[in-house]
Amino acid sequence: MFSEKELNLEEHQLREQIRQLSPAEMALYDQLEIPRLKQADIYLRLNLLFPFGVHHFYLHRWGRGALSLGLTLGAIMSATGFNPWDVRNHLLALMLLLAMIIIEVPQLMNARHLVHSRNNRIMHFCLSEVRRLWPGDQP
């Protein structure tokens, strides 16, 4: 995990490179970047539904989202007895919820950093794509 200072420095360097693009390259860059960038405020709001992993799906972190969703559904199924074994197990449900909380709390605490880091990666990807698709006068 990067610090806020490192993320800001990386973003500044990327923005400097983006400013050097020609108007046509900038238009292509914007076309690639705008739909991919994520907003920290939306991510933070989705954190309210953290037991279901919605915030992970928003950032395209499919594995983490599926893990959160699976742990939550497993806990619900264990607590209610609505599972293939037709057994109620409150201890298992509690353990699954505890595991999910242990996994999710660091994510919640670093929400802005996660979005910032992802957006920096998106900016880097879009810049690389512009250079690949528009090789023009690159040094």
Indicate whether 66 belongs to any domain.
yes
Could you tell me if residue 10 is inside a domain?
no
**Do residues 55 and 46 make contact, with C-beta atoms less than 8 angstroms apart?**
yes
Does residue 47 form part of some domain? yes
- The boundaries of the domain holding residue 115 are 41-133
CA dist 31 and 130 (Å) reads 10
pLDDT, one tens digit per residue, over 113-122 is 999 999 999 9
User: What are the pLDDT tens digits along the chain (139 aa)?
Assistant: 578 999 999 999 999 999 999 999 999 999 999 999 999 889 988 888 777 888 999 999 999 899 888 888 888 888 887 766 666 778 878 888 888 888 888 888 888 999 999 999 999 999 999 999 887 654 4
Residue 13 located in a structural domain: no
- Domain membership of residue 35 (yes or no) is no
The confidence score (pLDDT) of residue 53 equals 86
Give the torsion sign (CA, 9, 27, 119, 133). negative
Structural domain tally of the chain?
1
pTM of the model: 0.80
pLDDT of res. 139:
47
pLDDT at residue 118 in the model: 95
